[in-house]
Amino acid sequence: LNSNMSIRTALQQHSSTLSSHEAMPLLTRMLAKDYQTMDKNASLTKAFAIYSKIDGNKSNAVMNVMLKLCLHFKAADKIQSMWTDIVQHEQNKSKAKSYKDSLLSYTLLLTCCLRCTHCNIDQCIAILSWISSNRYKLTQIDAKDYSKNLAQLISKCNHPSYLHELQTIHSLIDAKQLKNDAFLHSALIHSYEKCTRDYQQSLQVFESTTHEIRNAFCLSAIMQILLKYARYDLVL
């Protein structure tokens, strides 16, 4: 594709289908500064027009650019139209003997899911399972965002009807990451109380923390719960 060709012209010339390779320079161009200042709806309409023309499986590189565009234009709900493709891609990858595509950014995907108007917890759990099964390695920047996103996801489990989801999320968190993350422990302590209407599982989470991270957040969380259930003996 000619680098000077407009996106509209390129779409007209490719009236039927595009390959992921052909679509990438068009989508990447939309992340440039001149496109980021455009009207949100017009930009997203163009991006999804390109996406819809891609023939066959969309590459992870294409998916990642689309996720970035959805986040930039504050349109996380748009990822729902991509979800079927994402799931299909993950299923194909798990069946393949060899896999050469770039990795899907699960941290970007999780951020989008959490910013949707109606967060789908089951979709978030699916992302956590992909992170676990693919042994996805987080960069330092990703790790901070991932921790915040996990804490936010845990906090959404705030009713007894979400107990199973909370337990599943807890089981999918990498033990090494959980060990040193006071914010995640604090979120788990609060959510277990809301989901069980009891203090015992929250206390178990607190007791599983190391002394190094039993900071003000974790202490405050468990003390509030113990006082709520009049377990003054355990507070002391």
Which residues have CB under 8 Å from 107's CB, separation 6+?
Answer: 138, 142, 145, 146, 149
In the predicted model, residues of the chain with pLDDT beneath 50 are: 1-4
For 18, list phi and psi in degrees, rounded to 5: -130, 155
Closest of 233, 136, 235 to residue 177, by C-alpha: 136
pLDDT in tens, 8-67: 665 555 557 888 888 888 888 877 755 556 677 778 888 898 898 888 788 889 999 999
Q: pLDDT at position 3, please?
A: 44
Q: pLDDT at position 4, please?
A: 43
Q: pLDDT at position 109, please?
A: 95
Determine the Cα–Cα distance for residues 101 and 97; give it in Å rounded to an integer. 13
Q: pLDDT at position 11, please?
A: 57
Q: pLDDT at position 13, please?
A: 58
Q: pLDDT at position 235, please?
A: 81
